[in-house]
Amino acid sequence: MVTLSTMDLDALRAKIAEIPDPEVPVLTIEDLGVLRRVEERNGSVVVTITPTYSGCPAMHHIEQNIRTALNDAGVEGDVETVFSPAWTTEWMSDEGKAKLRDYGIAPPRHIESAVSITNVPVRCPQCNSARTEVISTFGSTACKSLWRCLDCLEPFDHFKEL
């Protein structure tokens, strides 16, 4: 193991930030806001992550991938999971939202208030139409709901606001 001083913390963070989400592989854990901190504590690296949903099965996988990245970099480190502050889609980067749209998933809307959100349409990621309707409030993963476009008639996933 090399000591931490030989490894630039920023470079390490950049490497970890590239780890993709196993369920929405177009997004990195940085885009999602799951990666909170990469810091040095008592000579070892602590990577802090937060789950999107309590039962998100991807978290174990993400943790394992971070450990592998630390190991590949020859750095001693640990992964810590925190719940507070609770993850919100507001942490998703604009870049992440654009990537989601290109991938065919309608990105989460900005949450100004609980009421205002329903006034903003969920746009079809295929044809950008605002004429869409929800098919099911739950989708193929904990973070998505299922919608359909009334113009191009394509069904699509929507990343739920949380």
Partner 1 sequence: MSANPNLFTYLLRLADDNMVLSQRLGELVSWMPELEEDIAIANLSLDHLGQATSLYSYAGTMEAAGRDEDALALTRSEREFMNAVLVEQPNGNFADTIARQFLVDAYQVPLYQALSSSTDQTLGGIAQKAEKEARYHLEYSSTWLVRLGDGTDLSHDRAQSALDRMWPFAADLFAADQVEANVVAAGIGVDPRTLRDSFDSTVARVVELATLRMPTDTYERTGGRTGIHTEHLGHLLAEMQSLHRAHLGATW
Q: By CB under 8 A, how many residues form the interface with partner 1? A: 22
The token pair that represents 155 in the structure block:
């069904």
Binding flag, residue 43, partner 1 (CB under 8 A): no
Binding flag, residue 138, partner 1 (CB under 8 A): yes
The token pair that represents 99 in the structure block:
């990537």
Beta-carbon contacts of residue 121 (< 8 Å; ≥ 6 apart): 130, 131, 132
Measured from the CB atom, the residue of 12 and 108 that comes closer to partner 1 is 108
Beta-carbon contacts of residue 67 (< 8 Å; ≥ 6 apart): 77, 79
Among 63, 142, 148, 154, binds partner 1 (CB under 8 A): 142
- DSSP assignment of 36-89: EEEEEETTEEEEEE--SSTT-THHHHHHHHHHHHHHHTT--EEEEE--SSPP-G
CB of 129 to partner 1, least distance (A): 22
CB of 83 to partner 1, least distance (A): 3
CA distances to 1, 21, 100, 127, 144 from 31, in Å: 30, 9, 10, 24, 16
Quick one: how many helices (H) and strands (E) in the chain? 4, 7
Instruction: Name 44's bridge partners.
Output: 41
Interaction residues for partner 1, span 13-42 (CB under 8 A)? none
Q: Which stretch binds partner 1 (CB under 8 A): 12-20, 26-34, 69-77, 134-142?
A: 134-142
CB of 55 to partner 1, least distance (A): 3
Interaction residues for partner 1, span 60-119 (CB under 8 A)? 82-87
Among 29, 38, 56, 70, binds partner 1 (CB under 8 A): 56
Among 24, 35, 51, 107, binds partner 1 (CB under 8 A): 51
Binding site for partner 1 (CB under 8 A): 51, 53-57, 82-87, 135-140, 142, 146, 160, 162
